[in-house]
Amino acid sequence: MALAMIVLGPKRLPEIARALGKGLAEFRRTTDELKEELRQVEHEIEEPSSQVENEPAIAKKTESPPSPTPTASPAAQESEKKPS
């Protein structure tokens, strides 16, 4: 602080400190806005993906009917009845 007082002088130091304070305030405001915008985008991205995870898959919803049991032909049935 003493070095700044010597280099800048007592008249310019308050002006520069004020400008520096305004610059820092603007920087904080801009970074806060960017953070909020990123949070909103992240929320928009997460919301649809959570909906997809909560919905059952279409393949799970539509189950295929059980396949019919195969019936043996009459010739095969007769061969099963005959003792060998």
Q: Note the pLDDT tens digit of each residue in 56-71.
A: 655 455 556 666 666 6
Full-model pTM: 0.48
In a domain, 42, yes or no: yes
**58 domain residue, yes or no:** no
Query: Is residue 66 in a domain?
Result: no
DSSP letter (8 states) at residue 36: H
| Residue 72 and residue 80 in contact, taking contact as beta carbons nearer than 8 Å | yes
- pLDDT tens for residues 35-54? 999 999 999 988 777 776 66
- For residue 20, the enclosing domain spans 9-52
CB 13 within 8 A of CB 5: yes
Residue 82, in any domain of the structure: no
Structure tokens at 35: 């953070």
φ, ψ of residue 34 to 5 degrees: the values are -65, -40
Domain assignment present for residue 36? The answer is yes
Residue 39 resides in a domain? yes
Percent share of the chain, pLDDT over 90: 35
> Taking the CB of residue 17, how many other CB atoms lie within 10 A of it?
13
> What per-residue confidence (pLDDT) applies to 57?
57
**Tally of structural domains, the chain:** 1
